Amino acid sequence: MTARRRAHNRPQRRRPQTNLRGRLQFVLLALGLGVAAVVVRAVDLQLVRKDFYQAQGDARFLRELEIPTSRGQILDRNGEPLAVSTPVQSIWANPPALLGNAERIPELAQALAMDPAKLLADAQAKAKANSEFMYLRRRLPPDRAAQVLALDIAGVNAQREFRRYYPGGEVVAHVLGYTNIDDIGLEGLELAYNSWLAGSPGSQRVIRDRRGLVVETVELLRAPEPGRDLELSIDRRLQYLAYRELSAALVEHNASSGSMVVLDAPTGEILAMVNLPSYNNNSRASEPANQRNRAVIDLFEPGSVIKAFTLAAGLESGLFTPESVIDTEGGRLLVTRHTVRDVRNFGPLDLAGILAKSSNVAATKIALALDNEQLWSVFNRIGIGQSTESGFPGEASGVLPPAQRWGTLHKATMAYGYAISVSALQMAQAYGALANRGRLQPPTFLKGERKPGRQIFDPAIADALVRMLETVTEPGGSGTRAAVANYSVAGKTGTTRRATSGGYENRYVSVFTGMIPASDPRLVGVVVVNDPTGGGYYGGLVAAPVFGRVMAGAMRLLDIPPDRAASTVLVHAPAADSAELVPELPPELLAGFHQGAVADGVRPGRGVVP
């Protein structure tokens, strides 16, 4: 038997029967469970926890972004821009995305002029706090921002913002103030009118990709509202003129600081307000003391410029008339063991002569003839001790002690401008009342704003005082250097010692306050120069020439016609005729009046400051 046959005859093994039904059931069950799981998961995602997952998705890709809006312009009265907002770019980053490209951080830091180690540390801290946003550099010029974005670093992006720019720089800095990096007003009129200028940013919902770039705008939630423009009463031409002349005076007399205010007499509009030293509000890299608006914040004892109102009180009392003659007692008057002096013996003086010669003795005799309340009433009505309500932040009110606290010596010294404190703006407002025939018109920084005024003097008294003040700038007066060719000028010089909490120093404040044309006043100006040391320190020598030069230019710029013959020749008095005696004052004069309110380098609204 062959091998093939033996193999054929061998019994065959039976293979076990496969359970196909069971396998099919298992597969169907598995598929059913898978489908059920998918359905359950779909129900969970689409119905049960839909809001949660939608929020999580939106948090990663859907963002609500602010739409920046430009701040309103600040314009001068002729429409010239004083403050504008220019578009800039701010560079920001998504910290986790940036850390995913950590090897490029040194390159980014170099482009942004940053420290690489600090940039890395900041990104790590933000990422640890689960933050997806951090500013890298704010307010870059568009071309520089484009250079940073050209590096194409993941997570680094830019957003549009606005930066404030002041074309006038330091010339108008104290009036305008400035904004912070978020374009919010911090000082000056930027602060006072922030809500008017700021506008309202818009809002939109957008989709961002993983790099943080906006790929789609979903909806506009709120349209942006641009800020409104603010038109000031300031005349940029007069502002530059006043700044130039005041700066020249400070250099000539080696003075530490100064201020000038020019008002439109009929309306109270502030046409110019300058202070020195100044600062550039585009950069603000200066001493903080240089940033305060001295014309409204700093106080000084007005000295002889107050004598016009001492005479006003005398005329109101009925005890004196413009023709009244006062014996100046040889230039010396003893008041409670203290001697009031004039620069020399002026002999008998009428009221105009008192102002022209600036007699301390005559002013004192008039004040001592009055009740305390009579003199206090006049000083109170012209605004001493009260805010002018100009709207400027931090405006000082000045110091006017209650009449009940006045002693004889205090009342005597008040007659020629001590023991009271005023700001330059307050003094301009007071002389504005004389220019307006006795009607006090509150000052304003806004063009066209006419605040309610009030009648504080009889028009006849105001007119008489203006005529008397004209003699101050005429030959023989103490303020001839304030005269302007072909125009009548009325005004008053003043010179006071600087006061500190411990007494009076051999440092001076030179003042001139006046109006032009005196026949029908259009402008009122106040010049204050602190600590003049070169070429004399009297108001007639230091402050009066600044007034004269500024007003001569203002008459041309505003096209105000002359009120005197064209042949008028100015006669400048020699230095001796411009001098006023600066009294030797007893230390007790400060007690109870300026204690805590007179300090050298002072808090806003308090004291006499440099």
Q: DSSP assignment, residue 299?
A: B
Pair 471, 555: CB distance under 8 Å = no
Domains of the chain with CATH codes: 65-231 (3.90.1310.10), 236-279+292-589 (3.40.710.10)
Identify whether the C-beta of residue 543 lies closer than 8 Å to the C-beta of residue 527: yes
Task: Please identify every stretch of the chain with a pLDDT value under 70, giving residue numbers as ranges.
Answer: 1-18, 48, 50-66, 204, 206-219, 500-503, 566-610
Residue positions annotated with a catalytic role: 304
Q: Which amino acid is at 480?
A: T
Range list of H helices, 93-141: 95-99, 105-112, 116-128
| CB neighbour class for 556 (10 Å; exposed up to 12, middle 13-18, buried from 19) | exposed
Write down the pLDDT at residue 288: 84
549: CB partners within 8 A, 6+ apart = 245
Residues 379, 381, 382, 387, Cα dihedral to 10°: 100
What beta strand segments (E) does 44-133 contain?
Answer: 62-67, 74-75, 81-93
Tell me if residue 366 falls in helix, strand or coil. Answer: helix
Q: How far is 440 from 378, CA to CA, in rounded Å? A: 12
Is residue 307 within 8 A of residue 539, CB to CB? The reply is no
At 449 the pLDDT is 93
What would the pLDDT profile of 154-173 be if each residue is shown by its tens digit? Answer: 888 888 888 899 999 999 99
Residue pLDDT, tens place only, 440-454: 999 999 999 989 999
Please give the pLDDT value at position 363. 96
Reported pTM: 0.82
Task: Map residue 573 onto helix, strand or coil.
Answer: coil
Tens-digit pLDDT profile for residues 487-512: 999 999 999 988 766 667 788 999 99
Structure tokens at 194: 């922030």
Tokens of 357: 């010669």
Query: What is the rounded CA–CA span in Å between residue 156 and residue 139?
Result: 15
For position 269, what pLDDT does the model report? 97
In contact, 353 and 345? CB cutoff 8 Å? no
| SS3 of the chain: helix, strand, coil, percent, to 5 | 40, 25, 40
- CA separation, residue 191 to residues 174, 198, 233, 541 (Å): 12, 10, 17, 37
Q: How far is CA 512 from CA 19, 131, 257, 312, in A?
A: 119, 60, 15, 18
